[in-house]
Amino acid sequence: MRIRGVCGLVAAVALLAAGCASGPAGPGGDAKAAAGDANAAAGGAKAAAVDATAGAAYPVRVADCAGKQTVFEAAPKRIVTSNASALELLLELGAGERLIGTGFPPGAGYLPAELAARGAKVPVLGDMVIAKEKLLGSGADLYIDTFGAMSMGGGMGGPPSEQEFTAAGIKHLYLLSTACPAGGKAARTDLAEVEQDVKRLGAVTGTLARADELVAAMTAKTDRVTAALAGLGADRRPGYFFFDFDAGTKQPMAVCGGQVANAVVTLAGARNVFAGCEGDFKPVSWEDVVAADPDWIQLGVRNRGSAEATARAFDEAEQFLRTNPATRELAAVRQGRFLRIGSEVTTIAGLRNADTVQQIAHTLHPDLVKDGR
């Protein structure tokens, strides 16, 4: 497993280097000091992470993107999640009864069928990002944050400061694979950080055994794809463009090498045509897209709350590319080489990233990857 840094978790007295402080700065402050011993720690980090799942001893210490640690003396009892992806992970871990609210709630049909009823019972604290005062007054003892330092927008007053979280009695835990800035020039090419997030949450919530099961299932899926594509040369990796329809059509937003979607696309046997840009996302031009001439285009659409509404959004995204003067002559557009896969399971770290790898790989390489499930 590739390790990006030294942010991670400590169970009991054992320091565990887990994987994310990947950039020069991020939520929590300056990461340079935290990353100083990364090379020395990386060699033993994988073994340490495995040891951490052997028991549920407290205290548990987790670090943010900058290496700043938060100590959990016991499992949290009242959890708020920033979005449906984090909510889904808590439900999968078996900690759903502790959820007291979420932002960006899952629309109808978003959650797997076995989780849908439980997910529907979680109170919605915000249709988008939870307003600052509502979050601080929620009564939560843990807030799981997928977004890092993104602006709250909408006149909501900005995200709470760490001092405000502390004053409200809320511990603040980032999903490092999404909230930490990628930084540097190394592209993400696997789901190691996502797997580490699952284990970190398992340690914090006392659901370590279940976290191990979930990670093993993810790894099994991606390993099967990797084995099937083992003989795939670079010349057989088609160019791939993630079209973030919901980010706007006037200026396309490219998925860069540091985004988790780059890992998904790479594992699936494709080549992200914008992997060379640094960080997570970058505004580009339609001329840039045309110059990249992708072989396949994923219609990145967020769940609209129902299967019918989401299907209409996919139709709209495809219609835009077919009628836009800048893109309608692209070979991928003329030949209908589109993938209709939701944005959330591609660009937001979560368990279903592994399913997306399978789905993309099966579509692009059906002769090698027989099963897209």
Q: What pLDDT, in 10s, does the model give residues 41-71?
A: 333 333 333 333 334 589 999 988 778 899 9
Could you tell me the sign of the dihedral formed by the alpha carbons of 284, 289, 295, 296, in that order?
Answer: positive
The rounded percent of the chain whose pLDDT value lies above 90 is 68
Query: How confident is residue 367, by pLDDT bands cut at 50, 70 and 90?
Result: very high
Q: Which two tokens stand for residue 113?
A: 């069928």
Residue 160: pLDDT above 90? yes
pLDDT score of 263:
97
Spans of all domains in the chain: 60-150+159-174, 217-365
Evaluate whether 180 touches 20 at the Cβ level (below 8 Å).
yes
Among the residue ranges 71-80, 204-213, 331-340, 343-352, the one predicted with the least confidence is: 343-352
Nearest to 22 by CA among 278, 202, 200, 356: 278
Helix (H) and strand (E) counts for the chain? 14, 17
Task: Label the pairing between strands 271-272 and 239-244.
Answer: parallel
Could you tell me the sign of the dihedral formed by the alpha carbons of 269, 21, 148, 137, in that order?
Answer: positive
The rounded percent of the chain whose pLDDT value lies above 70 is 80
The arrangement of secondary structure in 217-365, i.e. its CATH architecture, is 3-Layer(aba) Sandwich (3.40)
Could you tell me the sign of the dihedral formed by the alpha carbons of 361, 364, 366, 372, in that order?
Answer: positive
Check for a shared fold between 60-150+159-174 and 217-365: yes
Q: Where are the alpha helices (DSSP H) in 251-306?
A: 260-267, 286-292
**Helix, strand or coil, per DSSP, at residue 17:** coil
Distances (CA, A) of 331 to 18, 292, 294, 300, 335: 43, 11, 8, 19, 6
Q: Which CATH class is domain 60-150+159-174?
A: alpha beta
